[in-house]
Amino acid sequence: MTVFVGVDGGGTGCRALVCDSLGNALGHSTAGPANIVSDFNNARDSIVTAVNHALTAAGLDHSQVQGIVLGLAGANINDHATRMQSALPYRHCHVTTDANIALQGALGNSDGTVAILGTGSVIIYRQTGSIHTIGGWGAKISDHGSGAQLGRQLLELSLLSYDNVQPDSPLTEHLLMQFNRSPQAMVEFAHSATPDRFARYAPLVFEFAARQDPVAVSMVTSAVTQLEQYLHAVPAASRQPLSLLGGLAQHYIPWLASDLTRHLIPARAGAVTGAVELAIERYADTSA
């Protein structure tokens, strides 16, 4: 029996799925973060762990894997995808972006747009069969509306309120209490924090925005404006249908303009399923 493996690796975690040639799930597993720009070696370890455990869950081993496709955060930067492909112990292996597998999972081979809103963020769309992306260049200078960006901004605004530069709010007070009202502790955290650690604070922003917290509402309004600018940069014909994915996707929907929400559809399948589909498409005729 030969099988195919899909991997979805992002800034918060890594998922692996093992399927037969018909796409029937045989085993799955999760592991730690797998952003290959933020931490290449740790990402590799997370990938290998997730794949090994998924194969074990399926009662299989590496010799039965005919092909594996990995969609990884950071794979669009420089030669990181090529390096990771070489560093992994798999014979028939292809590394692409996490956006590509999300598009495949959500829309199959159809045209349309997917917005991925998790630890990072990126817009990807297919137009007459050609795939394009907007954003997704990493948390330091891109990924607007992402969990990492919102979390980092929340720390910044909380420090400004601590210094009486800007008004405080229940949200900034709540965040300060997470660090025992110690700006030194916040600075120490931020100095070494990876995107996924910043992103842990993002759900608080939406939680407090729902309570009409002024700082939270301002943050969400600004993030939504940026997200809508990204989406309106997609050619109008390719915005239909539109699918939102990622841990923050459902939080954003109530805030989006109606010209976007009326085209929303649920994802056909998850990103890791998209990775398996691409593996089957790419390696079905390859001798194991």
pLDDT grade for 223, boundaries at 50, 70 and 90:
very high
Of the pLDDT bands very low, low, confident and very high (cuts 50, 70, 90), residue 287 is low
Judged on CB neighbours under 10 Å (0-12, 13-18, 19+), 89 is: exposed
Domain ranges across the chain: 3-108+269-283, 111-266
Domains 3-108+269-283 and 111-266 share a fold: yes
The pLDDT assigned to 281 comes to 95
Residues 81-118 have pLDDT tens digits of 999 999 999 989 999 999 999 999 999 999 999 999 99
Superfamily of domain 3-108+269-283: ATPase, nucleotide binding domain (3.30.420.40)
**Max Cα-Cα span within the chain:** 66
Kindly state the average pLDDT of the residues 251-276.
96
What is the third-level CATH fold of 111-266? Nucleotidyltransferase; domain 5 (3.30.420)
Cα 48 to Cα 43: distance, rounded to the nearest angstrom: 9
Judged by phi (left if over 0) then psi (alpha if -120 to 50, else beta), residue 78 lies in left
Among 96, 116, 83, 13, which Cα is nearest to 277's? Answer: 96
Q: For the chain, what percent of residues have pLDDT higher than 90?
A: 93
Considering the chain, what percentage of its residues have pLDDT values greater than 70? 99
Average pLDDT, the chain: 95
Asked whether residue 176 carries a pLDDT value surpassing 60, the answer given is: yes
- The 8-class DSSP code of residue 237 comes to G
H helices within the chain, ranges in order? 40-58, 80-87, 98-107, 147-162, 170-178, 183-192, 195-199, 202-209, 214-232, 249-252, 258-261, 271-283
DSSP 77: S
288: confidence class by pLDDT, cuts 50, 70, 90: very low
SS3 call for 143:
coil
| Secondary structure (3-state) at 135 | coil
Average pLDDT value for residue range 147-154: 97
User: Angle between the 170-178 and 147-162 helix axes, to the nearest 10 degrees?
Assistant: 100
